[in-house]
Structure 1
Amino acid sequence: MDLTLLLAAVLGLLIVKAVLFQLRNPSCPPCIRSWIPWFGAAFQFGKAPLEFIEQARNKYGPVFTIFALGKRFTFVTEEEGTEAFFKSEDLNFEQAVQQAVKNAVSVPAEAFYQNHSNLYSMMKGKMSPSNLHMFTGTLCKELHEHMAQLGMEGTGDLNDLVRNWSKSKKWLLKLFEKVVLDAERTNPSDTTSKVAFWTLAFILSHPSIYKKVMEDLASVFGKAGKDKLEVSEEDLKKLPFIKWCTLEAIRLRSPGAITKKVINPIKIKNFTIPAGDMLMLSPYWLHRNPKYFPDPETFKPDRWKEANLEKNAFLDSFVAFGGGKHQCPGRWFAIMEIQLFVILFLYKYEFVALDAVPKESPLHLVGTQQPMAPFRVQYKCRE
């Protein structure tokens, strides 16, 4: 009897395997699974997503699928498929994020689909480049209040110094609450403060770049750092190198994936991605393509002189803020906010880096990566 039950159990497992792990359609990308039904590769993938993606790219190529938690996630990690991701009518952004929004802030699906487009347009208008001058005064005041808490000098982890600033941005939270209302409650994340940290860390770790930034600041504001500086939109235009540093930090610490849902089969390279897949475009890996970014792992702000930033155009293959009609509506505001942070901090304080730039955490698939180790600095008011 025991042998009969054992044979039946084995037969049952074989049947399940035959159904769930049938031979892959050759037109579909290679699929990474496991022998565990429904759960799939979730455990291996969840331990360190960026490392898992790198290993998958090396083994299967730039397009591959991960089956996890009953869903298929198809990754595109090189330029093929970028145009389709941003422009194809066979992909849908709202369907990709609706469940996550519901889980996070309890917005019903009907309200989300009904209001998302209007809310996006509203935010895009309020934070357009032509309106950024309305925010500089408030941002400068807030930053000066934060720096007053740091005192005249000190030593600490730069990530903590920056992160504490992000926790005080109550006026920005009020702005989002006012705009979004009750239909889609969305609070800004601390992504901006993470990028501000990385921007400062990269600058301080490259003496020639640090020197260049300080020379630019002195040419616009003078050498003393004691005054409560208020930076205008015109001042920002005179400091393009700091904007380049900001964009270069964003390039190196971009999200591991942004997503849309496949609603009709779509062809990428020689593969057909079936309806129902979550298509995952990877800015993190696209920004490491040497075809577009020579010496891609190196912090090189000068590469951004080739971008037509005066016309709000990024470098080719730079997709940190998405693309098409669903680019991040607050992208220009975020870039400006980071610029102001860097300007005011470096104008007021002299910094000495005590550690090398830490590696980014492989745990962050979405959003900007956290540092894996402290980045300690000494700072004191400039004389």
Structure 2
Amino acid sequence: MATDYYNIFLLWERPVIVFALLVFPLGVAVLYPIYWGRRREMYPPCRGWIPWLGCAVQFGKAPLDFIEESRRKLGPVFTLKVAGKRLTFVTEPEDFDCFFGSDCVDFQKAVQLPVRNTASISEESFFETHQNVHDTIKGELAPPRLQKLCAKLNVKFAQQLTKWGKVGRSDLMSLVRRSMYVSILDTLFGEHVLPTSNQEAYLEFEAHFVRYDDQFEHGTELPEIFLREWSRSKKWLLRLFAAVVNTEEKQTRLDETLLHAIIKTVDRPHAPNYALLMVWAALANAIPITFWVLVFIYSDQTILAELMEELEQVIGGRGKDLTDLHITQDDLQKLPKLKWCVLEAVRLRGAGVITRQVTRSFTLRGYTIPSGDMLMLSPYWAHRNERVFPDANCFLPSRWENADLSKNQFLKGFLSFGGGRYQCPGRWFGLMEIQLFVAMVIYKYNITMMGPVPDVVSTCF
């Protein structure tokens, strides 16, 4: 016993041991509440246990299907760990206001890196000019300006649609793409500013842009070394837009276009980059949606007959040449069933996911959503919520009769154009151009579909 007391006495003579014995209880007293507090925080249920990779492999195979599978397993709020990122999904309509309106989330920070990767726009330039670019596009494509833009598109669409011929068999997407690409580019950029008049030059542009668009989703995340062909097309397009900007700066135009407004808004070194991004925004969504509208309409003879009757009441019976057909913005307002078809196609074939970055932790449904997470919302699945859209998987244009479209009010729960401060700035122009193109096609052509309506591909964008 005396020896034990002696050993303890010797321990107290060692400063390091004395320090440790004094500090350890103090450390426990300070850190335990912090640790316990963190343990008490409830984070959303999570999938993806593999370090860094998470569930990227399963997610990448069929993103939309995997999102819905995760919702069923984990509940209305859940997190997917994908390639070093935490993607936290909200899936119930009651929580969407938080996604769009919370001051704890940020749209610009969510999209800055994808913008840099796909258009080579620096972080500094993006944050300095993004809001001004958004507001410029919103102003240039606002409803009061649509009458003039509609008249230009009417002429351009007529020129392109006459090239379809009278009888034939072709790929509908290719026909729509070529007709709309040329028309929209000439309208928003100026007559032949881009290579739309020379067949060989245009085909080269189309090939590069289609490749750029097809792999755009991968380009937002993957290094260009893994996307060599995509990177080559991106650089080709940037060189083209650099030459366009250089030429247009020296021109004096009485009728300036959206391109010229953008050039004046952004810093000069990045003007070609913003021009590329603007063209992508103008073409990437409008063309596929137009294709789907036509597919849905021509696959349902009852709907087609109703639209034909509506068209005849507004612009007269068939017989006019397309170059003599003048459909105004006012005429389009008198074609509600056509607009219902467009919006219903947008509902069914709109964006897969939209995102915000969490800048400050907040609580949702009892879960702590930590700062740094990417907050995700899937319009694709939100539009298939049977509580909001009965018979959600069916193409039912008549459901839009309940929307007050005369006041530009969509159905509750419709999210394809986003929400909040940075709602899609070109949505009214986009709806107008699709309505106009579809009206002209229906007026002029009898189309027979060679197969059933194709299934949608499971992608996020």
Q: Which AA in structure 2 matches 1:358? A: P
Instruction: Give CA-to-partner distance per residue, 1:322-374, whole Å, 9 cap, x none.
Output: 01111100001100110001100011111222211110001x201xxxxxxxx
CA distance in 2, matches of 1:152, 1:32: 54
Gaps of 5+ in 1: 1-22, 367-383
Shift, 1:282, TM fit: 1.0
Question: Structure 1 residues 24, 159: closer, same or farther in 2, change over 3 A?
Answer: farther
CA distance in 2, matches of 1:266, 1:189: 37
CA distance in 1, matches of 2:135, 2:304: 38
Conservation of the 8 A alpha-carbon contact between 1:76 and 1:279 = yes
CA distance in 2, matches of 1:242, 1:30: 43
Tell me the secondary structure at the aligned position of residue 118 of structure 2: helix
**Match of 1:30?**
45
Q: Which AA in structure 1 matches 2:402? A: E
Q: Which structure 2 residues correspond to residues 179-258 of structure 1 after superposition, within 5 A? A: 179-181=261-263, 182-183=266-267, 184-185=274-275, 186=277, 187=279, 188-228=282-322, 229-258=325-354
Q: Which structure 2 residues correspond to residues 148-187 of structure 1 after superposition, within 5 A? A: 148-168=162-182, 169-172=184-187, 174=189, 175-181=257-263, 182-183=266-267, 184-185=274-275, 186=277, 187=279
Q: Which structure 2 residues correspond to residues 346-357 of structure 1 after superposition, within 5 A? A: 346-357=442-453
**Match of 1:365?**
460
Tell me the secondary structure at the aligned position of residue 174 of structure 2: helix
**Match of 2:88?**
74
Q: Which structure 2 residues correspond to residues 1-383 of structure 1 after superposition, within 5 A? A: 27-35=42-50, 37-168=51-182, 169-172=184-187, 174=189, 175-181=257-263, 182-183=266-267, 184-185=274-275, 186=277, 187=279, 188-228=282-322, 229-362=325-458, 364-366=459-461
Higher helix share: 2
CA distance in 1, matches of 2:425, 2:113: 21
Shift, 1:77, TM fit: 2.1
CA distance in 1, matches of 2:365, 2:412: 20
Bigger Rg over Cα? 2
Taking only aligned residues, the RMSD between alpha carbons, in angstroms, comes to 1.7
What number of residue pairs does the alignment pair up? 342
Q: Percent identity at matched positions? A: 43
Instruction: Give CA-to-partner distance per residue, 1:146-198, whole Å, 9 cap, x none.
Output: 21221112112222221222332322452453232254342233210100011
Shift, 1:268, TM fit: 2.1
Gaps of 5+ in 2: 1-37, 190-256, 268-273
CA distance in 2, matches of 1:225, 1:41: 57
Shift, 1:29, TM fit: 1.1
Shift, 1:26, TM fit: 6.0
Shift, 1:45, TM fit: 0.8
**Match of 1:370?**
none
Shift, 1:275, TM fit: 0.4
Conservation of the 8 A alpha-carbon contact between 1:80 and 1:269 = no
CA distance in 1, matches of 2:75, 2:330: 46
Q: Which AA in structure 2 matches 1:153? A: V
Shift, 1:44, TM fit: 1.4
Q: Which AA in structure 2 matches 1:205? A: S
Shift, 1:257, TM fit: 0.7
In the superposition, the TM-score normalised over structure 2's length comes to 0.71
CA distance in 1, matches of 2:188, 2:330: 26
Question: Structure 1 residues 24, 198: closer, same or farther in 2, change over 3 A?
Answer: farther
